[in-house]
Amino acid sequence: MNPPESNQVVYDPRGTVDAEPRPISKRPASLEGLRVGVLDNTKWNGRRFLEKTLALLQASEGLGEVTYYKKESFSKNAAPELIGRIAAENDAVITGIGD
C-alpha cells in the first residue's frame, strides 16, 4: 500500500558543504615574543573566553605585543580588510567562540 500524496517538502538537515581544501598555516615553534592578534567575534562570552585564554598563554609562553580586533557580527564573516590588517600586523592570531 502506498502512502497518501502530500505537498510537504522535507529537507535533509545534513546538507553538503562545497569547499576547496586549503592547507593550514605553518605553526610557530614558540609564541614567545610574537605579536599576537585576538579576534573577538562579538558572541556574549567570547571576549571573556579570549582574555582568559590569553592570560594563560601569556603566563606560559611570554607573548609579545597583543592587539584586539572585533568583527562586526558573530553571524558574518570578518571583512576582508580586517583580515588583511590582522595578517599584516601580527605573527599569530587567536580567535574562538564563547557561548
47-53 contact pairs (CB < 8 A, 24+): 47/98, 48/98, 49/96, 49/97, 49/98, 50/94, 50/95, 50/96, 50/98, 53/94, 53/96
In a domain, 14, yes or no: no
Position 32 pLDDT exceeds 90: yes
**Mean per-residue pLDDT for 78-93?**
96
Instruction: Flag whether 15 is in a domain.
Output: no
* Structural domain contains residue 4: no
Q: How confident is the model at residue 36 (pLDDT cuts 50, 70, 90)?
A: very high
When divided into structural domains, the chain yields a total of: 1
pLDDT category, 74, cuts 50, 70, 90?
confident
Domain of 90 in residue numbering reads as: 36-95
Please check whether residue 8 lies inside any domain of the structure.
Answer: no
Note whether residue 71 is domain-resident: yes
- The pLDDT tens digits for 54-71 are 999 999 999 999 999 999
